[in-house]
């Protein structure tokens, strides 16, 4: 979501005459697009800002200016606090206010320090300009499209409902138009994104609400799209029509990121997740029935307040039962303002550390096993960029695995069958199939 938001801010500021630079020392404007999900992520911002403040001062000594903007969820959650804590910051802007950046920057140039963290009724997306064909091309063949923002679930550990606000779905025609533009400029893979993407309920032209499955089916009919994905989903919203879409839509990739957080019903209840471990296992079973090769991915939290050894073991058991292709796992981080942070039975840091290490060892073993199982198979790869070595190109399998092969650069942007010959720790090595070989594979 933050990557997508950053590109939209760049599109918007491009219209104001700004161009992107990879070099901080060259920038007249630095925007930190921030994450507030865990304490570590939020704290990183202040250390980054400290460095930028020094840069800004050095610049001012030379008579040049550098504006510093804090955007994203830290901006939303801390607001004015950011301006107080770091004097060098000019502007604090929450995720719902990006479309006002040009106006806010004008005011900042007049020396005002401002905060804008309003939740708007006005449609942010439609006031953000679309990227040019050249910008789309420069960003590659795989692109995100936001279809939904915000969250009404209020998991007791999570700040998202507070920083991103209530669930809002974008209208179908807007999503179709944005997707068409991307595809016309050469994008081949679209990932529909939202904090709760499978809770999507957007209106069509007649005001009828579409589910995510219906939206995916419609986009699958668009010529030029090779691959569709969606992320992130909640188990409670994993409707049967979405599961069925994995059987009926060839373009829908067999990879589902479905966070479970914990394998213990007691902890799931305390987390306010509204599903049990068995519900999750049942979804996985139905997904695999629809699409036997579907790869599962998840998020996990260890050390939620009150988590016992038995609760943690239940998480390990769930992991063993499912077998994940990839995953993200975290130590619980108490977030101010969330119910979890109020609890008096917080878990000791050392216990969290030990549990996380055990979980990550198991998840890593599963990831490696999944990758090794691809060796000897032939899979379609969407080539995205040149490889690290001369004469190589790199891309992704349907299961999100990185692959590199020897091949010509003009294959970038296309899908081709690849025989997987070896699995490294972070990517697979493959061989492009010659003419005639494809049929054998």
Task: Give the footprint of ligand 5AD on this chain (CB under 6 A).
Answer: 37-38, 157-158, 259, 261, 299, 301, 330, 332-333, 335
Scanning 72-80, 149-157, 243-251, 362-370 for contacts with ligand SF4 by CB under 6 A, the matching segment is 149-157
Q: Report the nearest approach of ligand SF4 to the CB of residue 160 (Å).
A: 4
Applying CB under 6 A, the span of 40-48, 155-163, 243-251, 433-441 interacting with ligand SF4 comes to 155-163
Give the nearer residue to ligand 5AD in terms of CB position, either 115 or 329. 329
Residue 66: helix, strand or coil by DSSP? coil
Partner whose binding site includes residue 154, from ligand SF4, ligand 5AD, none (CB under 5 to 8 Å by kind): ligand SF4
- Please report which residue ranges of 62-194 form alpha helices under DSSP H: 73-78, 80-85, 101-109, 133-138, 160-163, 172-184
Residue closest to 4 by CA, chosen among 144, 141, 101: 144
Phi-psi region of 261 (alpha: psi -120 to 50; beta: other; left: phi over 0): left
Q: Is residue 160 within 8 Å of residue 195, measured between CB atoms? A: yes
Does residue number 170 form part of the binding site for ligand SF4 (CB under 6 A)? no
Peptide bond into 232 cis (omega under 30): yes
Question: Is residue 325 within 8 Å of 255, Cβ to Cβ?
Answer: yes
Number of H helices, E strands in the chain: 16, 19
CB of 279 to ligand SF4, least distance (A): 14
Binding status of residue 151 toward ligand SF4 by CB under 6 A? yes
- State the CB neighbour count (10 A cutoff) for residue 61: 8
Report the DSSP pairing between strands 29-34 and 326-331.
unpaired
- The set of residues, in sequence order, having a beta carbon less than 8 Å from that of 3 and lying 6+ positions away, is 144
Is residue 161 close enough to count as binding ligand SF4 by CB under 6 A? yes
Per rule CB under 6 A, is residue 153 in the interface with ligand SF4? Answer: yes
Partner interacting with residue 366 (select from ligand SF4, ligand 5AD, none; CB below 5-8 Å by kind): none
Q: Which stretch binds ligand SF4 (CB under 6 A): 69-77, 112-120, 151-159, 345-353?
A: 151-159
Two tokens, residue 19: 């161009």
The reply on whether position 246 binds ligand SF4 by CB under 6 A is: no
How many whole angstroms separate alpha carbon 94 and alpha carbon 72?
5
Residue 224 contact among ligand SF4, ligand 5AD, none, beta carbon within 5 to 8 Å by kind: none
Residues forming beta bridges with residue 328, ordered by sequence position: 299
Sheet bearing 67-72, strands edge to edge: 29-34, 67-72, 91-93, 114-116
Give the nearer residue to ligand 5AD in terms of CB position, either 78 or 384.
78
Work out how close the CB of 304 gets to ligand 5AD at its nearest, in angstroms, rounded to a whole number: 8
State the Cα–Cα distance between residues 182 and 176, nearest whole angstrom.
10
Question: Quick check: 155 binds ligand SF4 (CB under 6 A)?
Answer: yes
Nearer to ligand SF4, 298 or 401 (CB): 298
The answer to whether 158 contacts ligand SF4 (rule: CB under 6 A) is: yes
Site for ligand SF4, residues 186 to 205, rule: CB under 6 A:
195-196
Residue 303 CB, shortest distance to ligand 5AD, in Å, is 9
User: Contact residues for ligand SF4 (CB under 6 A)?
Assistant: 151, 153-155, 158, 160-161, 195-196, 234
């Amino acid at each position: 979501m933050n990557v997508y938001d950053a590109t939209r801010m760049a599109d918007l500021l491009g219209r104001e005459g700004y161009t992107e630079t990879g070099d901080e020392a060259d920038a007249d404007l630095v925007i930190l697009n921030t994450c507030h999900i865990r304490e570590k992520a939020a704290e990183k911002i202040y250390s980054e800002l400290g460095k930028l403040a020094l840069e800004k001062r050095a610049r001012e000594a030379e008579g040049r200016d550098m504006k510093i903007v804090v955007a994203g969820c830290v901006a939303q959650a801390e607001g004015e606090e950011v301006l107080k804590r770091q004097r060098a910051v000019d502007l604090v802007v929450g995720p719902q206010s990006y479309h006002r950046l040009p106006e806010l920057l004008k005011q900042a140039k007049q020396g005002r320090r401002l905060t804008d963290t309003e939740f708007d009724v006005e449609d942010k997306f439609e006031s953000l300009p679309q990227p040019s064909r050249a910008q789309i091309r420069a960003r590659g063949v795989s692109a995100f499209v936001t279809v939904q923002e915000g969250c009404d679930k209020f998991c007791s550990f999570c700040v998202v409902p507070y920083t991103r606000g209530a669930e809002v779905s974008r209208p179908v025609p807007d999503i179709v138009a944005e997707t068409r533009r991307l595809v016309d400029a050469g994008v081949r893979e679209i990932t529909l994104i939202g904090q709760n993407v499978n809770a999507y309920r957007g209106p069509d032209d007649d005001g009828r609400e579409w589910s995510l499955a219906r939206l995916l089916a419609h986009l699958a009919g668009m010529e030029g799209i090779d691959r569709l994905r969606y992320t992130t989903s909640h188990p409670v919203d994993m409707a049967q029509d979405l599961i069925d879409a994995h059987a009926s839509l060839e373009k829908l990739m067999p990879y589902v990121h479905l966070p479970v957080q914990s394998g213990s019903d007691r902890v799931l209840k305390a987390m306010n997740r509204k599903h049990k471990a068995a519900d999750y296992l049942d979804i996985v079973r139905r997904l695999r029935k629809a699409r036997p090769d579907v790869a599962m991915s998840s998020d996990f939290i260890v050390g939620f307040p009150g988590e016992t050894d038995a609760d943690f073991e239940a998480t390990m058991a769930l992991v063993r039962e499912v077998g994940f292709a990839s995953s993200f796992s975290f130590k619980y981080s108490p977030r101010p303002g969330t119910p979890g942070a109020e609890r008096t039975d917080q878990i000791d840091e050392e216990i969290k550390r030990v549990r996380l290490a055990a979980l990550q060892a198991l998840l890593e073993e599963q990831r490696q096993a999944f990758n090794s199982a691809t060796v000897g198979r032939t899979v379609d790869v969407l080539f995205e960029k040149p490889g690290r070595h001369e004469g190589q190109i790199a891309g992704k399998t349907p299961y999100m695995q990185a692959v590199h092969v020897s091949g010509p650069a003009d294959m970038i942007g296309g899908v081709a069958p690849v025989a997987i010959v070896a699995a490294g720790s972070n990517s697979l090595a493959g061989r492009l199939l010659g003419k005639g070989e494809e049929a054998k594979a």
